[in-house]
Structure 1
Amino acid sequence: MLMSYDLAIIVKTGGHINPAVTLGLFVARKVSLVRAVAYMVAQCLGAIFGAGLAKSVMKHYYNTLGGGTNVVVAGNSKGAALGAEIIGTFVLVYTVFSATDPKRNARDSHVPVLAPLPIGFAVFVVHLATIPITGTGINPARSLGAAVIYNNGQVWDDQWIFWIGPFIGAVMAAAYHQYVLRAEAMKALKSFRSNSTS
């Protein structure tokens, strides 16, 4: 019963669990402003609830590991951390756009089934690259949930990085995919059609 309900939510919402991805979809005009804000609020509340649940189930490990909070790792500057979050989120959001592109779906009927694979691989690669710098944010809701429940140390000092970086990366990825790549593809298609009719 619960699994079918979860599946219904994913089908209905597109599986939004990251405010940065939602912002990218809003910039690309794939979700309305009202829906984007509602998703972001739900994502943040879900992250806070999830972090609270993790703390209640494994309190010793939770406290030992700093509650899973994101901070700038010692030896890295805030600028490097911001850059890592921008680039990491760009990779994630660009992969989401590429893997779920309806034009590609029309050409490759197997893509909807395989879309989670490149997205999961992108998340894996981004984690490998950014864990030593920021602990890997790329999801503002997850960073917020951990900070709210752990609520001590420098978690609030660096919190802005885990919102600004992912939002910049998401906007860049959405703009690049929708207004650069898709525009070039449309221009090439129009050129091809005009040449084939002449």
Structure 2
Amino acid sequence: MGVSRAPNKCASVGIQGIAWAFGGMIFALVYCTAGISGGHINPAVTFGLFLARKLSLTRALFYIVMQCLGAICGAGVVKGFQKSQYERVGGGANVVNDGYSSRDGLGAEIVGTFVLVYTVFSATDAKRNARDSHVPLLAPLPIGFAVFLVHLATIPITGTGINPARSLGAAIIYNKDHAWADQWIFWVGPFIGAALAAVYHVIVIRAIPFKSRA
């Protein structure tokens, strides 16, 4: 596997600040859209829920297309309002950073997305909802916190994708060679991670008998 082709542009910005920004925004977006679409803002999460038979194929495809269009529009807005900062950080495009191989980047995306999607399953699980009535209200909190932790761990490796739509939107608007060089990693990795989370949830967790505390 080849090594990366771009330096880590996140160090000067502050990894913790970026992680908090992503985690906090995901918390807010999931909270606001949960009652409309179930909070689907990530193709990997949608794919995982589809594999777990919590979503129809038609709805899953529709969500993924809309997520990608939204990401493209969002990246365009950022470029339009903050052109100099946008160029300085490489358009926010996800790449495997210097010192890491493509294999490292793929592994980081698989593990990071597994953590996120498994958290989504756990936070919205019907068995848990039946036992703990407060879970639906608090579901966006662990999801946002999972995003925060995954960013802390993987920003130095890939800039953190775990959302193919976010990676695609940034690549399309920035549209320079290095933005496309590792694009496959930010689709293959998240979809593998989501599939593993779905399998683990359906085969292992859902097989555990439900016991009421009453």
Fold agreement, TM-score > 0.5 = yes
Counterpart in the other structure of 2:17: none
Alignment: residue pair count: 183
Unpaired runs of 5+ residues, structure 1, are 1-5, 190-198
Please give the alpha-carbon distance, in whole angstroms, between the structure 2 residues aligned to 1:94 and 1:127: 16
1:25 and 2:49 are equivalent in the alignment: yes
Please give the alpha-carbon distance, in whole angstroms, between the structure 1 residues aligned to 2:118 and 2:97: 26
Please tell me the root mean square deviation across aligned C-alpha atoms, in Å: 1.7
AA paired with 2:164? P
AA paired with 2:114? F
From 134, 151, 175, the counterpart of 2:175? 151
**TM-score, normalisation: structure 2:** 0.82
AA paired with 2:46? T
Map residues 31-180 of structure 1 onto 2, 5 A cutoff. 31-180=55-204
Q: Any idea what the Cα deviations from partners look like across 1:72-115, whole Å, max 9, x if unmatched?
A: 00010000000000000000000000011011011101111111
**Percent of matched pairs sharing the same residue:** 69
> Secondary structure of the equivalent of 2:165?
helix
Distance 1:8 1:157, change over 3 A: closer
Please give the alpha-carbon distance, in whole angstroms, between the structure 2 residues aligned to 1:24 and 1:12: 19
Please give the alpha-carbon distance, in whole angstroms, between the structure 2 residues aligned to 1:39 and 1:10: 13
Counterpart in the other structure of 2:20: none
Unpaired runs of 5+ residues, structure 2, are 1-29
Please give the alpha-carbon distance, in whole angstroms, between the structure 2 residues aligned to 1:126 and 1:119: 11
Q: Which has the larger radius of gyration?
A: 1
Please give the alpha-carbon distance, in whole angstroms, between the structure 2 residues aligned to 1:13 and 1:181: 25
Residue range with higher mean Cα deviation, 106-115 or 130-139: 106-115
> Secondary structure of the equivalent of 2:204?
helix
Please give the alpha-carbon distance, in whole angstroms, between the structure 2 residues aligned to 1:89 and 1:145: 18
Aligned-pair CA distance for 1:10: 3.7
> Secondary structure of the equivalent of 1:156?
helix
AA paired with 1:91? V
Structure ranking higher in helix proportion? 1
**TM-score, normalisation: structure 1:** 0.89
Aligned-pair CA distance for 1:117: 1.3
